[in-house]
Structure formats: structure tokens, C-alpha cells
């Protein structure tokens, strides 16, 4: 190719990129989520799994004016409710299912909601919801920032929509090479127990603080000698580490492959040439080698006397969705790391999830990585580079995919738009639907992608997505592809409004889908 042609192609590519960002930049944030009513409304998961003997903590998530009082009829023996906070605590001795009627009451009225407690082997019966420190703070995380995040979850009202976990990612341990003095120190005590760095002086105290707010707390390590960021990993100390996390009171644990790549490829743990972040080669295709460290840690976590959600993180190598459940994983990353661009979010969401969909179910979820709305930036937070419509796409798609929902932003910098994205209870209810059926792509036509999933109440949630930089106008008629027949009432989930019923045999549905945006409907058969 001669230089002139190459130059013209480069200019053309730059022009296309510019057109893309002009289209992207021109839309101001616009809020669709209606404010929650002043009367009580119980939100969040309607099913909760716990193992026999494990400490039980479930906070009833409810919006509406405070003060509010809570009730729970038919609570099984061993559990008690604090009527002022809505926290249910205690323990269940035996396996079994219990249908409880939750209640919430304030000066504006009262409401009830059926809630199913399943005491058995499985936990995380709906995808975990919460926050994780990585996408905003990365190596700058500290106990103070984690406490601040927990406080915001409560004060912003997010906890009233079911957001529960406050997860510390990498950099709570000491580091192998950083020149930051707060990351210097022994990795383990003389008995081999892991030591947190100076920014985390009291792990048990931190966990107690978060539990005291009715929330749960998560931690992070790697099966290799080093985490991706070069902090102390768990290699050779797996059992001790599982015991330590349980002793401190952690409820969630992300185990991130990273330097295990070197071990898996045959290097000794003491070999200094093991890179912290190199995933290596063997784990990409050798299933036995890839599963080994997760099976080991899964077993040690299960031996603890508390329920610890196990998040397997190895970027989707060796088709983790096929074996994640067999190592007791409650969720597993299906992809490399997300960043806050349309290219990253849309290719992860649209191009990499379909093959994994059949393996997702209550207790075992595909994880397309954390959310990139709000102020993100891996130590240098900036407002997300996703446009408002791209953010609607991100949240809608992740909810359709039954993804664990982990907010990745600096929550002390919340704005009204970001909060509105994270507090739409009808959209969140798709993610948290107890049936746990991940949506699949039912139409892939040009720039149109349509995802559909069954919901427990017999309805179907459908997301119509537009991957182009121009708005899309459709007169939609292909209802059989959505699995819909007869007369259907569409409900716009973002606006929380019913639309006129449509006869799927001869009618059509007018749709305007914004550039890189979505229309998210729930279809209910008219009886
Ligand atoms: C990997 C993971 C990220 C994060 C970092 C921490 O890149 O995929 O989610 O945990 O490591 O170093």
C-alpha cells in the first residue's frame, strides 16, 4: 500500500472516530428513573440463600420516608428481626425453605413482600450487588476510603435498593516493589498468617464497622505468590488465608489468577522472575491446571463457619463458565478487564457473553466485570467516558445478563444522573430475578441487538440495543423471535410506565433507540 493511500485511510479512521465522539458528546445526561415514592416500597432480592450454621445477615432494602418500621412474619427459629433497621440476623441450624412475609411501614402507609429463605448448600441465589475499590481507587485504596464508601452506600440511599457488598480489591496487602512506604512491610507474620499494610491497621474493626451499617464486606487475593499489582498473594498459604478472612469477618472473596500464570507454567514461587500480572500460557487451555488453585481455595472457604461468596477471576480462560460451579465459584469473570469506553463495554457485553449464558444460574453467575459509571479511573478518577446512553446500555445489559453488579466509581462524587442509573428498582429487579435466567441475544441484525430473558412471574424482559452512532427508528414486528405470542403489555422499565398493549400476531411496536442506547421493556401477556 503506498503512503498516500495509507495516509488517507488514517485520516478516514480519525474522521470516523471524531464523528463517533461528536455523536457521543452531544447528549446531556437525562434522568429516566422516577423518584421512589414516600410510601414504603420493599426492593431488592426476594430470595436469599444461607448455609446451615452460618451467621445470617440480611437487611430489608426499602425506600420511603423515615422513620420506617419493619416486620417479618413466619421468620424461622434462629432468626430475629430488628424492627427499627430491618436487619435479620441469627443462624439456621437445619436445611430447609421458609416463606417469610416482610413488612415495612411509615407515616405514608405500609407494604408487604414475600421473601424466600433457602437454607442449603447454595449462597448468592441472586447476583451479588455492591461496590468494589478497583475501578476508582486501584492502588490508592485505604480503610478510610472503604469506610467512606460504606457510609455513602447508606447515606445516598443505595442500600435501600439492595446494594450490599463493600469490596476491597488489590492493595490491602504489602507490595513487592512499590516505593510507597505505606505498602512496605512484612507480607506475613512468623507463623505465615497474612498481614495487611499500614493503610488497613484493623481488618476485623473494618469488617465490624461495615456490618454495623447492615452491609457486607469483601476482600481480594491471588492464588499466585503475587497479586496483579505485586502485593502478597496466597500461594502456599491458602488454608491460613481462608481462615484469616473468616476470622476477620469477610463475606465475599475475589481470587485473581495473575502471577499464578508463572506457577502454572512451571516456575518456582521463589523465582523472582515471576511477573505479577502475566497470566502465562498453560491456564488458557489446560482445564485441569486452570481449575486447581480455585478448587483448593473453594474447599478452604467452604470449611469456614461463615458464608463467603467466592468470586473466581481468571478472565474467562479455559471456558471457566463450564467449570466455575464445580470449584464452588459463585461468580466467575468471563472477560479481561473492562475500561470506561464504548469499545470495551460494548465488546464485553455484546460479543463475549452469549456462549457462557447457559451456565449461569442461582448461586453461579457469569461476571462481565464491574460497572464503569460515575467517577472511575484506577487511582486517577475522572467522570466516565461513556455517554449517558452508553451508560443506560451498560446497566440494562448487565441486568439482562444476570451480572454481579459492582459499582466501580468513587461514590463520594455521586451526581444525580449516576444515582438515577443505580436506583431504578424495576431495572435492578431484572438482574435480581429469582429465576436467574441470563438473557441471550435473540436478534443480531446489523447494528440492532435484542436480548431477552424469562422472569419468574412469567413475563419476559427484552432489551433493544442500538450499536450505531445514529438513533434507530423501528416498527418492530418480530415478536416470535422474542418468544412472545398473543396480546402483550410492554412496560418501559427505565420510565416505569406501561405502554399500549400490542397484538403480536398483526401489530407492531414503534421503537426509537438512541445512538449506542437501549429501550428496555418487560412484556406481560394480557389475560
Ligand atoms: C486484575 C483484575 C482486576 C483487578 C486487578 C487488581 O487486573 O482483573 O479486576 O482486580 O487485577 O490488580
pLDDT digits (tens, 9 = 90+) for 228-273: 999 999 999 999 999 999 999 999 999 999 999 999 999 999 999 9
C-beta atoms surrounding 176 within 10 Å: 19
**Closest listed residue to residue 160, CA positions, set 419, 402, 398:** 419
Q: Distance from the CA of 366 to the center of ligand 1, in angstroms? A: 16
Ligand 1 neighbours by CB, cut-off 6 Å: 134, 169-170, 227-229, 256, 313, 337
Examine the domain organization and report whether 167 and 287 are in the same domain.
yes
Is there a domain that residue 72 lies in? yes
pLDDT tens track for 478-515: 999 999 999 999 999 999 999 999 999 999 999 999 99
CA–CA distance, 85 with 113 (Å, rounded to integer): 17
The mean pLDDT of 437-461, rounded to a whole number, is: 98
CA–CA distance, 100 with 429 (Å, rounded to integer): 19
Residue 313 CA: which ligand 1 atom is closest?
8
Q: Distance from the CA of 352 to the center of ligand 1, in angstroms? A: 18
Domain C-terminal end among 89, 119, 149: 119
Length of the chain: 527
Active site residue 256: yes
The mean pLDDT of 175-187, rounded to a whole number, is: 96
CA–CA distance, 421 with 394 (Å, rounded to integer): 10
Q: Distance from the CA of 228 to the center of ligand 1, in angstroms? A: 6
Closest residue CA from atom 5 of ligand 1:
228
Is there a domain that residue 434 lies in? no
- Whether the pLDDT of residue 160 is over 60: the answer is yes
Residue 254 CA: which ligand 1 atom is closest?
10
The reported pLDDT for the residue numbered 7 is 37
Determine what percent of the chain falls in helix, strand and coil, rounding each to the nearest 5: 30, 25, 45
Examine the domain organization and report whether 242 and 213 are in the same domain.
yes
Distances (CA, A) of 127 to 103, 117, 236, 374, 403: 23, 15, 30, 21, 6
Look at residue 355 and give its three-state secondary structure.
helix
Domain C-terminal end among 91, 119, 147: 119
Closest residue CA from atom 11 of ligand 1:
228
The reported pLDDT for the residue numbered 19 is 44
Contact 373, 414 (CB under 8 A): no
Is there a domain that residue 22 lies in? no
C-beta atoms surrounding 526 within 10 Å: 11
Is there a domain that residue 20 lies in? no
- Whether the pLDDT of residue 12 is over 90: the answer is no
The reported pLDDT for the residue numbered 26 is 62
The reported pLDDT for the residue numbered 127 is 99
- H or E element that contains 165: strand 165-167
pLDDT tens track for 189-233: 999 999 999 999 999 999 999 999 999 999 999 999 999 999 999
Active site residue 208: no
Examine the domain organization and report whether 243 and 188 are in the same domain.
yes
CA–CA distance, 362 with 374 (Å, rounded to integer): 28
Examine the domain organization and report whether 93 and 135 are in the same domain.
no
| Active-site position among 286, 337, 454, 492 | 337
The reported pLDDT for the residue numbered 278 is 86
Is there a domain that residue 13 lies in? no
- Whether the pLDDT of residue 23 is over 60: the answer is no
Is there a domain that residue 27 lies in? no
pLDDT tens track for 284-322: 999 999 999 999 999 999 999 999 999 999 999 999 999
Closest residue CA from atom 4 of ligand 1:
134
CATH for 478: 2.60.40.1180
The range of the structural domain enclosing residue 85 comes to 41-119
Contact 429, 416 (CB under 8 A): no
Closest residue CA from atom 9 of ligand 1:
337
**Helix residue spans in 39-173 (DSSP H):** 134-137, 143-155
Is there a domain that residue 11 lies in? no
Examine the domain organization and report whether 140 and 106 are in the same domain.
no
**Closest listed residue to residue 56, CA positions, set 127, 118, 103:** 118
Structurally, the chain folds into a number of domains equal to 3
**Closest listed residue to residue 366, CA positions, set 319, 327, 421:** 319
CATH for 206: 3.20.20.70
The mean pLDDT of 393-419, rounded to a whole number, is: 98
Residue 336 CA: which ligand 1 atom is closest?
8
| Active-site position among 256, 367, 410, 433 | 256
Dihedral angle at the C-alpha atoms of 119, 399, 410, 39, nearest 10 degrees? -70
Examine the domain organization and report whether 269 and 365 are in the same domain.
yes
Examine the domain organization and report whether 214 and 315 are in the same domain.
yes
Examine the domain organization and report whether 262 and 184 are in the same domain.
yes
Phi, psi of 378 (to 5 degrees): 50, 55
Examine the domain organization and report whether 511 and 471 are in the same domain.
yes
**Closest listed residue to residue 465, CA positions, set 300, 294, 347, 316:** 347
The reported pLDDT for the residue numbered 11 is 40
Examine the domain organization and report whether 303 and 172 are in the same domain.
yes
Residue 370 CA: which ligand 1 atom is closest?
9
Contact 331, 127 (CB under 8 A): yes
At a CB cut-off of 8 Å and minimum separation 6, what does 242 contact?
297, 300, 301, 303, 304, 308
pLDDT tens track for 85-143: 999 999 999 999 999 999 999 999 999 999 999 999 999 999 999 999 999 999 999 99
Q: Distance from the CA of 309 to the center of ligand 1, in angstroms? A: 17
Ligand 1 pocket mutation, candidates 167, 228, 276, 371, criterion most atoms within 8 A of CB: 228
Grid cell at residue 303: 470449611
Domain C-terminal end among 72, 99, 119: 119
CA–CA distance, 39 with 444 (Å, rounded to integer): 42
CATH for 45: 2.60.40.10
Contact 63, 37 (CB under 8 A): yes
- Whether the pLDDT of residue 21 is over 90: the answer is no
Ligand 1 pocket mutation, candidates 170, 223, 348, criterion most atoms within 8 A of CB: 170
DSSP characters over 363-431: TBEEE------SEE-TTS-EE-SS-HHHHHHHHHHHHHTT--EEE-S-GGG--HHHHHHH--HHHHHHH
Residue 220 CA: which ligand 1 atom is closest?
10
The sheet with strand 87-90 has its strands ordered as: 56-59, 87-90, 79-82
Examine the domain organization and report whether 144 and 46 are in the same domain.
no
Is there a domain that residue 197 lies in? yes
Examine the domain organization and report whether 232 and 294 are in the same domain.
yes
- Whether the pLDDT of residue 84 is over 70: the answer is yes
- H or E element that contains 217: strand 216-221
**Closest listed residue to residue 254, CA positions, set 236, 240, 233:** 233
The reported pLDDT for the residue numbered 500 is 97
C-beta atoms surrounding 282 within 10 Å: 17
Amino acid at each position: 500500500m503506498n503512503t498516500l493511500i495509507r495516509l488517507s485511510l488514517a485520516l478516514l479512521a480519525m474522521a470516523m472516530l471524531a464523528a463517533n465522539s461528536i455523536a457521543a458528546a452531544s447528549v446531556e445526561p437525562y434522568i429516566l428513573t422516577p423518584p421512589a415514592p414516600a410510601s414504603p416500597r420493599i426492593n431488592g432480592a426476594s430470595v436469599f440463600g444461607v448455609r446451615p450454621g452460618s451467621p445470617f445477615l440480611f437487611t430489608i432494602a426499602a425506600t420511603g420516608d423515615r422513620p420506617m418500621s419493619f416486620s417479618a412474619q413466619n421468620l424461622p427459629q434462629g432468626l430475629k428481626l430488628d424492627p427499627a433497621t430491618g436487619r435479620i440476623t441469627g443462624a439456621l441450624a437445619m436445611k430447609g425453605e421458609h416463606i417469610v412475609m416482610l413488612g415495612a411501614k411509615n407515616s405514608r402507609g405500609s407494604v408487604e413482600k414475600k421473601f424466600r429463605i433457602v437454607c442449603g448448600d447454595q449462597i448468592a441465589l441472586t447476583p451479588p450487588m455492591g461496590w468494589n475499590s478497583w475501578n476508582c481507587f486501584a492502588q490508592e485504596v485505604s480503610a478510610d476510603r472503604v469506610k467512606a464508601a460504606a457510609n455513602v452506600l447508606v447515606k445516598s440511599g443505595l442500600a435501600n435498593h439492595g446494594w450490599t457488598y463493600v469490596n476491597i480489591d488489590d492493595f490491602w496487602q504489602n507490595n513487592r516493589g512499590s516505593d510507597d512506604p505505606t505498602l512496605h512491610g512484612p507480607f506475613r507474620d512468623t507463623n505465615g498468617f497474612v498481614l495487611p499494610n499500614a493503610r488497613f491497621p484493623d481488618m476485623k474493626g473494618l469488617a465490624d464497622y461495615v456490618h454495623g451499617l447492615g452491609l457486607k464486606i469483601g476482600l481480594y487475593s491471588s492464588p499466585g505468590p503475587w497479586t496483579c499489582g505485586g502485593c502478597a498473594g496466597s500461594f502456599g498459604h491458602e488454608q491460613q488465608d481462608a481462615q484469616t478472612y473468616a476470622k476477620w469477618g469477610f463475606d465475599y472473596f475475589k481470587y485473581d489468577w495473575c502471577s499464578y500464570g508463572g506457577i502454572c507454567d512451571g516456575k518456582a514461587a521463589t523465582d523472582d522472575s515471576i511477573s505479577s500480572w502475566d497470566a502465562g500460557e498453560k491456564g488458557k487451555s489446560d482445564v485441569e491446571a486452570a481449575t486447581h488453585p480455585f478448587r483448593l481455595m473453594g474447599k478452604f472457604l467452604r470449611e469456614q463457619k461463615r458464608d463467603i461468596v467466592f468470586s473466581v477471576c481468571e478472565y474467562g480462560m479455559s471456558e471457566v463458565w463450564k467449570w466455575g460451579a464445580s470449584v464452588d465459584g459463585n461468580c466467575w469473570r468471563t472477560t479481561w478487564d473492562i475500561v470506561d469506553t464504548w469499545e470495551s463495554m460494548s465488546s464485553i457485553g455484546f460479543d463475549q457473553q452469549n456462549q457462557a449464558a447457559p451456565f449461569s444460574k442461582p448461586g453461579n453467575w457469569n461476571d462481565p466485570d464491574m460497572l464503569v459509571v460515575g467517577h472511575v479511573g484506577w487511582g486517577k478518577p475522572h467522570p466516565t467516558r461513556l455517554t449517558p446512553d452508553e451508560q443506560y446500555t451498560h446497566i440494562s445489559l448487565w441486568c439482562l445478563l444476570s451480572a454481579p453488579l459492582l459499582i466501580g466509581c468513587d461514590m463520594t462524587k455521586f451526581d444525580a444522573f449516576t444515582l438515577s442509573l443505580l436506583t431504578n428498582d424495576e431495572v435492578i429487579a431484572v438482574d435480581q430475578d429469582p429465576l436467574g435466567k441470563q438473557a441471550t441475544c435473540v436478534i443480531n441484525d446489523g447494528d440492532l441487538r435484542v436480548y431477552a430473558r424469562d422472569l419468574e412471574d412469567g413475563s419476559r424482559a427484552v432489551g433493544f440495543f442500538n450499536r450505531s452512532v445514529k438513533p434507530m427508528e423501528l416498527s418492530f414486528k418480530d415478536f416470535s423471535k422474542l418468544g412472545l405470542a398473543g396480546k402483550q403489555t410492554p412496560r418501559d422499565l427505565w420510565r416505569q410506565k406501561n405502554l399500549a398493549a400490542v397484538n403480536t400476531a398483526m401489530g407492531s411496536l414503534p421503537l426509537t433507540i438512541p445512538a449506542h442506547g437501549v429501550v428496555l421493556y418487560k412484556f406481560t401477556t394480557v389475560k
